[in-house]
Structure 1
Amino acid sequence: MAKPAEKAFYRFLVLFFNCLLTFGSYFCFDIPSVLQDQFQGNLTCLNSTVTNATVECVEGLGMTPQEYNLLYAIYAWTNALVVIMAGFLIDKLGNRFGVFLFSFLTVLGSTIFALGSHFKGTKYLLPLMLTGRLLFGSGNGSLTIVQNRITAFWFKGKELALAFGLTLAFSRLGSVLNFFLTQRFEAQFGMQWTLWGGTLLCVMGFVSAVVVSSLDKVGMKQLGLDGAIQAESRKVRVQDLRQLSLRYWLLVLTIMFFYNGIFPFIADASKFIQDKYSGYSQKEAAYIAGAVYDSSLVLSATVGILIDYVGRRGVFALGCAVLTLPVFALLAFTYVPPLVSTIWLGVTYSFAASSMWPSIPLIVPQATLGTAMGLATSVQMIGIGLSNLIVGQILGTTSSDAKIPLWRWQRMMVFMLANTVSCIVTSVLLNIVDHRQGGTLNKTTKKSAAEQPASPPDRDPLLEGEETPEERGVCRFPFHQQQLETGTGKSWRWMLKGNRGFTPPPSCLRIRSLPAGLETPVNSV
């Protein structure tokens, strides 16, 4: 009789609570984008007037555009510094350690950020809010790594892209609700209560962390994998980073350049729409900017199913970059309604997120997946942080009560175009290198898994049929397996076929120990 953890219902139950981990934190992340006018508004409005239903003077925290963009930059920079160490710690200490620690940091960071709003007009405002964003970024970026690692483990060789797509959809549901509800909530209850509401949603994420940790622990014990995975995790070393292939680094650069055109744009999109296009209120501009997330919310699950079926992840990554080019050109040089561009950007974003991030578990060992995800997130956040700083410089330092000149917005869009062109270049190189190394990224997860027997859970990439660096180099020999029965389980030694007396070099010799009862691994290291 099948154990509960072996059934599809159980892994999708894990996925549901895993998705809720970042729902509240993604809601909080873009609150400043929706309330940009309030963050950059004047400290007092003694003689405010209303023209065409638009308030000429907006009372707020008095931040300059540079200080406002710094809220996003410090989030990105903190991610860049923390997630590498976080990924390594997750690989060493496990998902359950990471999910508790990092969900707590999101709660702590959002609490300090909300507390900072109570110091309006004082020298403590900016330091407190930056400290809150720093802690929030430390938790949220690292929490995403744990989330992806849990998803990759439970959906290995199954509905991997669908699971990643649903995870993205839940996160983006938080972002979408932020764009729809935050401005209304702020108008009725004020900025301070709005920020505290975001903190409450982060607390919900912490509760989800408790649930998903329990489900993960019980499930792995039922599958008999808890001890084996912990043993492999203890073997993870910093030197393992040298095994990350050129494909991995090209994929990381592709992710970075693509996201450089997404998050920095969304951070300033609401004000851009109000400045360039006439007749849009703050609420309407927020809705239009949020259409990027609306599109990804609607499409993510469907796109995940499609990519699971057809594969072609490398091709999709290239196609997303190419199709994003016209978006920033339209925004920079035409007056086509902005909703067209934001929906278009949301569609390409959906395909990119469902094809790029799920590709990482396919080309790195499961035992080092947290570290690999951490490095990818770090590089991504370095790029986003630099982009936020550059955008802040391009837009200038004037207060938000005056429109930013159109030529400055055009320069910002040209900068986004440059990032998209760079993404095209790296994705082309990624497909070339992947083709030369077996075309892993353009295979279908389910088809590849069906062609191969089950493999050990922690030492292989999630897509079988891969050649390791040893197999591509000095160890390109026909191997066979010799099964040895031991008192603690089963071990496999990989030896040269036809010459039992030959001792391969150390890099060609692998010893694998698995709990009794696991299936024989495939005939490739």
Structure 2
Amino acid sequence: MAKPAEKAFYRFLVLFFNCLLTFGSYFCFDIPSVLQDQFQGNLTCVNSTVTNGSDCVEGLGMSPQQYNLLYAIYAWTNAVVVILAGFLIDKLGNRFGVFLFSFLTVLGSAVFALGSHFKGTAYLLPLMLTGRLIFGSGNGSLTIVQNRITAFWFKGKELALAFGLTLAFSRLGSVLNFFLTQRVEAHFGIQWTLWGGTLLCVLGFLAAITVSALDKMGMRQLGLEGLIQQESKKVRFQDLRYLPVRYWLLVLTIMFFYNGVFPFVADASKFIQDKYSGYSQREAAYIAGAVYDSSLVLSATVGILIDSVGLRGVFAVGCAVLTLPVFALLAFTFVPPLVSTLWLGVTYSFAAASMWPSIPLVVPQATLGTAMGLATSVQMIGIGVCNLIVGQILGTESSDVKIPLERWQQVMFFMLANTIGCIVSSLILNIVDKRQGGTLNNTTKRSQETQEEPNEPPETSPLLGEENDHRAIN
């Protein structure tokens, strides 16, 4: 009689709770984007006065540079922490990671919310930056554990679909943030809105407990737990030097693409209100959130498509090329911004479903956490630098008035430059991949992956099926 862990329903049960790990943290991540006016608003608005032709918005009194620093410090923290986190996950296991990092998201979001109670004092910015720092150290690392669990249970079966569903659940948090946060803030104020985000992070912590139990029980039923721990002990930090060229090109491709997504979304609501007439803060937030709406709707379908046809390298080039018109439209035209944000959401869906699931195909499973951590680190370094550059372009004065359109145009030029960088790195990736066997562009349904399911005997399990000599991955 087959054990429960050998059946498909068990894999998808693990996947469901694994998806919930980051639902709340993704909701929290972009709360500042929706409430950018409140974060940069005046400390007081006496009798709803009007300043320089704009309605006064009462808020926390941050400058654009300070606001963008909230995103930059999140990215920098990820860049530093995720490398060590990925290595520790490889050494100590998934259960260690999900407990620690989900707890850090709860703690970080709580400190961030607490900081908002100190508006008008010298404590506000340090507390909120500290909260984002702790939150970033947990959320980025939690994504690595999430990807590692997904890769183990689905490697060789529905891998892109599983990654797509994981992204869809995460983006559901982002979408609900863009739809609900402004309304919640209007009724309860910014402080209680931020505490509501903390409560959603607690949901992720409860999911962490559940997925940890399911993962442990499944490993025991399959007889893999002891063998996985034994294999993980062989992982050394020095093994990073054996990571193949294709891996590093994937990392660069991911970094350049995400440089054009996250920094844009962080300021998109303000950009839409400044450039296009007739949009309220709520409407601008909805339009900015359309990037994630598209991703939410398309991720599973795109995952199934890529699982069926392969061609991950080709898709990586295609989504980068098709992103160019997005920023061109935003920079040079007054085409309704919803066209661009929906378009970016489509290309983002294909990028996420083709780029990230390619990493398990070019590195051994035993070092996947370390490889994912390093990739996330480089990605977050790029995003953090981009957030700072955008903040410098937009200026350092309080945003009571519209930011000049020429500054926004410079921001779009900067996004275009990153997209071109993504095109170049993805083209080189395809050339190198073709010379080394064309793993990424195999056209069969499973891309000729020979790894077995988790319910196979230990000697052919996904974790142990790779060569122990890491030099073989070159």
TM-score bracket, normalised by the shorter chain, equals: over 0.9
Equivalent in the alignment of 2:271: 272
Instruction: Measure, in 1, the Cα distance between the counterparts of 2:190 and 2:301.
Output: 36
Equivalent in the alignment of 1:324: 323
Q: Residues 471-486 of structure 1: matches in 2 within 5 Å?
A: none
The residue identity in structure 1 corresponding to 2:14 is: V
> 1:221–1:242: structure 2 CA closer, same or farther, 3 Å change rule?
same
Instruction: Measure, in 2, the Cα distance between the counterparts of 1:364 and 1:119.
Output: 47
Equivalent in the alignment of 1:413: 412
The residue identity in structure 2 corresponding to 1:259 is: Y
Instruction: Measure, in 2, the Cα distance between the counterparts of 1:154 and 1:451.
Output: 11
The residue identity in structure 2 corresponding to 1:74 is: I
Cα deviation per residue 1:467-495 (whole Å; 9 max; x = unaligned)? 985497xxxxxxxxxxxxxxxxxxxxxxx
Equivalent in the alignment of 1:8: 8
> 1:137–1:369: structure 2 CA closer, same or farther, 3 Å change rule?
same
Superposition misfits of 4+ residues, deviation over 6 angstroms: 450-454
Instruction: Measure, in 1, the Cα distance between the counterparts of 2:118 and 2:230.
Output: 49
Equivalent in the alignment of 1:204: 203
Instruction: Measure, in 2, the Cα distance between the counterparts of 1:185 and 1:14.
Output: 32
Equivalent in the alignment of 1:31: 31
Contact 2:155 2:451 in 1 (8 A): no
Contact 1:104 1:139 in 2 (8 A): yes
Equivalent in the alignment of 1:172: 171
Cα deviation per residue 1:335-362 (whole Å; 9 max; x = unaligned)? 0000000000000000000000000011
Contact 2:451 2:465 in 1 (8 A): no
Equivalent in the alignment of 1:368: 367
Equivalent in the alignment of 1:237: 236
Equivalent in the alignment of 1:58: 57
- Measured on the aligned residues, the alpha-carbon RMSD in Å equals 1.8
Instruction: Measure, in 2, the Cα distance between the counterparts of 1:178 and 1:208.
Output: 19
> 1:436–1:183: structure 2 CA closer, same or farther, 3 Å change rule?
same
The residue identity in structure 1 corresponding to 2:218 is: G
Any unmatched runs of 5+ in structure 2? none
Question: Match of 1:290, SS?
Answer: helix
> 1:450–1:77: structure 2 CA closer, same or farther, 3 Å change rule?
closer
Question: Match of 1:96, SS?
Answer: helix
Contact 2:330 2:340 in 1 (8 A): yes
Instruction: Measure, in 2, the Cα distance between the counterparts of 1:451 and 1:116.
Output: 48
Instruction: Measure, in 2, the Cα distance between the counterparts of 1:44 and 1:406.
Output: 27
Q: Residues 31-430 of structure 1: matches in 2 within 5 Å?
A: 31-49=31-49, 56-430=55-429
The answer as to 2:23 corresponding to 1:18 is no
The CA deviation at 1:30 is 0.2
TM-score (norm 2): 0.96
Contact 2:441 2:447 in 1 (8 A): no
The residue identity in structure 2 corresponding to 1:255 is: I
Instruction: Measure, in 1, the Cα distance between the counterparts of 2:125 and 2:73.
Output: 12
Question: Match of 1:279, SS?
Answer: coil
Contact 1:364 1:460 in 2 (8 A): no
Instruction: Measure, in 2, the Cα distance between the counterparts of 1:469 and 1:62.
Output: 54
Q: How many residues matched? A: 466
Cα deviation per residue 1:41-83 (whole Å; 9 max; x = unaligned)? 00011142579xx961000000000000000000000000000
Instruction: Measure, in 1, the Cα distance between the counterparts of 2:320 and 2:335.
Output: 21
The CA deviation at 1:327 is 0.4
Cα deviation per residue 1:485-514 (whole Å; 9 max; x = unaligned)? xxxxxxxxxxxxxxxxxxxxxxxxxxxxxx
The CA deviation at 1:240 is 1.2
Contact 2:262 2:383 in 1 (8 A): yes
The answer as to 2:458 corresponding to 1:458 is no
The CA deviation at 1:447 is 5.2
Equivalent in the alignment of 1:517: none
The residue identity in structure 1 corresponding to 2:81 is: V
The CA deviation at 1:457 is 3.0
Instruction: Measure, in 2, the Cα distance between the counterparts of 1:40 and 1:208.
Output: 34
The CA deviation at 1:458 is 2.1
Instruction: Measure, in 2, the Cα distance between the counterparts of 1:339 and 1:371.
Output: 38
TM-score (norm 1): 0.87
Question: Match of 1:190, SS?
Answer: helix
Cα deviation per residue 1:434-491 (whole Å; 9 max; x = unaligned)? 0000001112462524698973432456xx9xx985497xxxxxxxxxxxxxxxxxxx
Instruction: Measure, in 1, the Cα distance between the counterparts of 2:465 and 2:334.
Output: 51
Instruction: Measure, in 2, the Cα distance between the counterparts of 1:302 and 1:248.
Output: 25
Contact 2:108 2:134 in 1 (8 A): yes
Instruction: Measure, in 2, the Cα distance between the counterparts of 1:422 and 1:169.
Output: 26
Instruction: Measure, in 2, the Cα distance between the counterparts of 1:37 and 1:471.
Output: 49
Contact 2:155 2:452 in 1 (8 A): no
Instruction: Measure, in 1, the Cα distance between the counterparts of 2:317 and 2:336.
Output: 26
Any unmatched runs of 5+ in structure 1? 473-525
Contact 1:158 1:445 in 2 (8 A): no
The CA deviation at 1:243 is 1.5
Instruction: Measure, in 1, the Cα distance between the counterparts of 2:366 and 2:359.
Output: 13
> 1:470–1:23: structure 2 CA closer, same or farther, 3 Å change rule?
closer
The CA deviation at 1:143 is 0.1
- State which drifts further: 216-225 or 436-445: 436-445
Cα deviation per residue 1:79-120 (whole Å; 9 max; x = unaligned)? 000000000000000000000000000000000000000001
Indicate the structure (1 or 2) with the bigger Cα radius of gyration. Answer: 1
Contact 1:87 1:371 in 2 (8 A): yes
